[in-house]
Amino acid sequence: MTRMLSICRARPPRVVKRLAAAVISCGLLLTPVLVNPGLAAASTPDPAVWVGSPVNGRWPNRDDCAGAVFPSDLCSLPTVHHAVYPSSFDWGTSWGGDWAADDQGVYAGERVMLYAAPVNSGYNPTAHVDTVGPACRSGVIAYGGYRVTIGIYVGSTKIGTVTYAHINPTVYQGQWISRWGSRIGTVGSYTSNSCWAGPHVHVEMTSRHNYSCFSNIFTRYPGANLWESNFQGYLGGYYAGGPRQACA
C-alpha cells in the first residue's frame, strides 16, 4: 500500500483554471496573484509534448481505491490521487498538478528517467530542472526523499511541468538536461511513515494552459507491467477539459 501525505492541501480555486486567489497552504498566507484572464485558457493551445514513464515497474493498482475521492492519500490512480506540488508559470503559481499517480513495482536504487518528445514536428522541447526539494511536508528527507520538478519548454515558453517524488536526485536545480533519456535520480528507500511506506515514484503533471491528461492505460489496465518510456500523459495541447482526466 502506497501512502504519501499531501504537502499542500489548499489550492487556488479553478473556476477558471489560471485565476488564482489567496489561499492558506503549508501554513503560509499567499498573496493573491493578479492574472490577465486571457491567459486562463489558451485560444491556440500550447504545443503538445508526450511524456513517458520514468521507470520499469507496474502501473498503479486499485488497492484502497473503493470509494476513494480526490485528494486521496491511499488510492494511487490518477482519477483521485493527491496532486500536491507547486509549479511556477508566467501567470503565477499552480498549487498542485492537473493529475498525479504512483508508479509501483519498483526497487530501491532503480534509475528514474525523463522521457519527453514533441507530438508534432516543427518544434523541439527542452527540459529544465526547476526544483529539487523535500518530497514530504515535514521536510525530513529520511521520511520520503526528494521531489524533482522538470519544466518543459518550447522556445522561451514553459508549457508544463512533470514532477517525480520519493527519489534520490542526480540532477541539480537550475540545470538544463536532455528531454529524452536523462537520468533524474534513483528510487529511494526511507523510514516508513505516513508520507512513505515503500518504494514507488509519485508522478505529477501540470500544463500552463488547459489541462494535462493521463494515459488511459492507468484506468484500463491497473497493475499491469510498466516499462520505461511507456506513454503516461501529455503536457500542452488540448486533450482534457478538466483535471484528472484521461487523454481524449
- From first to last of the 248 residues of the chain, give the pLDDT tens digit: 443 333 333 333 333 454 433 332 333 223 333 333 334 455 678 999 999 999 999 999 999 999 999 999 999 999 999 999 999 999 999 889 999 999 999 999 999 999 999 999 899 999 999 999 999 999 999 999 999 999 999 999 999 999 999 999 999 999 999 999 999 999 999 999 999 999 999 999 999 999 999 999 999 999 999 999 999 999 999 999 999 999 99
The span from the CA of 211 to the CA of 86, in Å, is 15
Q: What are the φ and ψ backbone dihedral angles of 142, each rounded to 5 degrees?
A: -65, -15
157 contacts: CB under 8 Å, gap ≥ 6: 46, 90, 208
Q: By three-state DSSP, how is residue 129 classified?
A: strand
- DSSP code for 104: B
Cis peptide upstream of residue 199 (ω within 30 degrees of 0): no
**What is the sign of the dihedral through the CA atoms of 39, 41, 42 and 46?**
positive
Q: What is the pLDDT of residue 189?
A: 97
C-alpha cell at 233: 500523459
pLDDT at 1: 43
Length of the chain (residues): 248
Residue 31 is classified by DSSP as P
Neighbouring C-beta atoms of residue 90, cutoff 10 Å: 12
Alpha helices in 71-135 (DSSP H): none
Q: CB within 8 A of 71, min separation 6: which ones?
A: 6, 9, 80, 81, 82, 83, 84, 96
- pLDDT number for residue 44: 72
Considering only CA atoms, which of 163, 91, 173 is closest in space to residue 128? 173
The pLDDT of residue 40:
46
pTM, two decimals, is 0.85
- Which residue from 201, 245, 163 is spatially nearest to 76, judged by alpha carbons? 201
Burial of residue 155, with CB atoms counted within 10 A of its CB: 0-12 exposed, 13-18 middle, 19 or more buried: exposed
What CA–CA distance (Å, rounded) separates 88 from 93?
4
Beta pairing class for 92-95 and 126-134 = unpaired
Q: What local confidence, expressed as pLDDT, does residue 30 receive? A: 30
Q: Indicate the SS3 state at residue 220.
A: helix
> Residue with C-alpha cell 506540488?
85
Q: Which amino acid is at 190?
A: Y
